[in-house]
Amino acid sequence: MQRLTTALALWAGLTACAQAAEPITLGLNYPRTGPYKEEGLAQMRGALLAIDELNAQGGVLGRTLRLSSKDTASRPAKAVKNVDKLASEGAAMLFGGSSSAVAIASGKRAAQHGLLYFGTLTYSNDTTGKDGHRYMFRECNNAWMSARVLGQYLSKNLPNKRYFYITSDYTWGHTTESSLRQTTGSEDSGQHPGLKVSFPGARLADYQDALTQAASSNAEVLALVLFGEDLVRAMRIAKDLGLTERMQIVAPNLTQSMVEQGGPGLMEGVIGTEPWTWRVPALEKSVRGEAFVKAFSQRYAMYPSSSAASAYSIVYQWADAAKRAGSLDSEALIKALEGHSYQLLKDQQTWRAFDHQNLQTVYAVKVKTRAEVLKDPLKQDYFEIVDRLDATQAAPSLAEWQAERRAAGQPLTLQ
C-alpha cells in the first residue's frame, strides 16, 4: 500500500511538472491576407523575435513561449472566430490587429473569455475611448495623438490651406478624419470637403472617382485617410492625375511597409505620423531600441517598422507584467500594467490606468526623396522626422475621455 501511495505521489508530481513545463501560448490575431497584410507580416516577425529572445532568457515563470496565429483578413467577424479558436487552444493572452474594427471586435470577444487583448496597429479613438474596456490595452497611439502632432506641424508649415479628405469608411477613418479636421481648423466641410470609400472592399473605380473629385476642387492639401494597400492604390491614381505635384499629400498614419509597397518615388514628400521608426532609438538615446534594430535587421535583412516594434513591445510588456505579478491571471496582469511606466524601444512610455492607452511620444514624418533613400545600405531609410510631441501634450485628458464615454452612453470607468 505504501508503494502504491508513493507511486501515485510520484506520478502526480511528474504530471504537475509536465504541466508546468508546457509552453505558454500567445495568440496573434493578424492580417495575413487582405489590404493590410504587409503590416500583419511585420507583426509576426516582431513577435517571433521577442519570443525567441525571451525563451533564450528562460521564458516566463519557468515556461517557454510559443506563438499561435490566425488570419483576420482585416474582417471583424473572422477575427472574432479566431479569438474563440485561440482561446480553445489555451492562449494566455491575445494581440494583433491592423484594422481598428478588428481590434475592437477581437478585444470584446477576448474579454468574454477572460483574456487580455493588446492592440498593435489600431489608431481609432474608439479602441480605448467609447469601446474601451478592462481587458483591452492599446500599445500604439490613438488618432487624436496622431492628429495633434500632425496638426502642430501643418499649422506651422502650411497654415490656412484648403483641404480635401478621402477616408476609409470605418471607425479608424472616421475618428482620424474628425481629429485631423479639429487640429488643422478644417472642420467646415463646405470649405474642406471629403468623401468616404468602402472598407474593406473598395474598388479602384471608387478611388478613381474620389480622386477625380479632389482634382476638380481648389484644395491645396489632400488628406488620404487610408492605410496599407488602400493608400498605395490611391497614391498611384493621384500620381496619374498630377495631384502629387500640385497638392501636399497627407496620410495621417504612415508605415515603412506602405512606402515599401508604393516605392519612395511615388511616396516622396508625403507627410504623416509614426509612433516609432528605426531611427527613433538613436534620436531618443535608447540602447535597448538600437539593439532591437540590429537584431531584427540581422535576422530579416530589413529594418523593423512600427508594426514590428509594436508586436515586439507587446510580447515583452506582457512577459514583464507576468513576471512582476508572478501570475498569468488576467486580473493580476491588469493590476501590474495599469499605471506602469517603462523604457524599451524609445523614451518613457506608460500604460495609463483609466483607459489603458499607452502614453508615448508621437512623431510627424515626411517621406524622403528617392535619392536620399538609395544612399542607405538597405535602401529603407524612408522617413525624415520633422516634428515630435510627447504624451503629456498629445493624449486626451481624463475629462475629454469621460466626455466621449458619456456621449456614447458608456460608463465613466472601464468595465
Domains of the chain: 2-142+284-361 (3.40.50.2300), 144-280+362-394 (3.40.50.2300)
Q: With the CA atoms of 354, 356, 359 and 365 taken in that order, what torsion angle do they form, in degrees rounded to the nearest 10?
A: -130
Question: What is the model's pLDDT at position 20?
Answer: 54
Q: Using omega within 30 degrees of 0 as the cis cutoff, is the peptide bond preceding 200 cis?
A: yes
Q: Cα–Cα distance between 50 and 42 in angstroms, integer?
A: 13
Interval 105-134: pLDDT, tens: 999 999 999 999 999 999 999 999 999 999
CA 86 to chain centre: 20
- HSE on the CB side for 156, CA within 13 Å? 9
pLDDT at 10 over 70: no
Tell me what the mean pLDDT of segment 242-271 comes to: 95
What is each CA distance from 242 to 6, 212, 231, 236, 264, in whole angstroms? 83, 10, 16, 10, 17
Interval 355-369: pLDDT, tens: 999 999 999 999 999
> Could you tell me the pTM of the whole model?
0.92
If you ran DSSP here, which 8-state letter would residue 126 be given?
A: G
Tell me what the mean pLDDT of segment 251-264 comes to: 93
Q: Cα–Cα distance between 91 and 115 in angstroms, integer?
A: 8
What is each CA distance from 42 to 78, 98, 169, 295, in whole angstroms? 20, 11, 24, 14
Mean pLDDT of the chain: 94
What is each CA distance from 302 to 201, 260, 361, 376, 379, in whole angstroms? 30, 11, 24, 11, 9
What is each CA distance from 197 to 62, 210, 215, 252, in whole angstroms? 49, 8, 16, 16
pLDDT at 4 over 90: no
Q: Which three cell numbers stand for residue 54?
A: 525571451
Q: Cα–Cα distance between 116 and 334 in angstroms, integer?
A: 8
